[in-house]
Amino acid sequence: MYYIVETDKSFDQASADLESAVKHNGFGVLHVHDLGVTLRSKGVVFDNECKVFEVCNPGQAAKVLSVDMRLNMALPCRISVFTEQGKTKIGLIKPAQMLSALSQDSTLIEVASEVERKTIQMVDEAK
């Protein structure tokens, strides 16, 4: 269900490279949640780094929503750059598997499979 790769890049470099890969693949970055900074600002001891990139392709999102508006709760896609045990990792929850748990519509499965292929490509490019 997860696709996670380890990279030799620094957290900051992997984050910058992911943002470039997202744009290169025709998606946009809607928002970046810096969970490490947020948790530490609330007084929580958190030694790792974690940025969650909300990414979207408007055409694909519109296809999904035109079939089942409830799936707005599963959008946008998220790709994370994080550190774990001193290693930088980039990963995502595979959209096709996640969507298949929410719908059996063949059009949606097709869209999710294409989005999954593209998001994995982004992760691999950023690696």
In order along its 127 residues, the chain shows pLDDT tens digits of 999 999 999 999 999 999 999 999 999 999 999 999 999 999 999 999 999 999 999 999 999 999 999 999 999 999 999 999 999 999 999 999 888 889 889 999 999 999 999 999 999 999 9
Per domain, the residue ranges of the chain are 2-126
pLDDT in tens, 3-39: 999 999 999 999 999 999 999 999 999 999 999 999 9
pTM to 2 decimal places: 0.94
d(CA 61, CA 100): 16
- What is the pLDDT, as a whole number, of residue 31? 98
Q: Give every CB contact of residue 30 below 8 A, 6+ residues apart in sequence.
A: 54, 55, 56, 76
- What is the pLDDT, as a whole number, of residue 99? 86
Q: Which fold has domain 2-126?
A: TATA-Binding Protein (3.30.310)
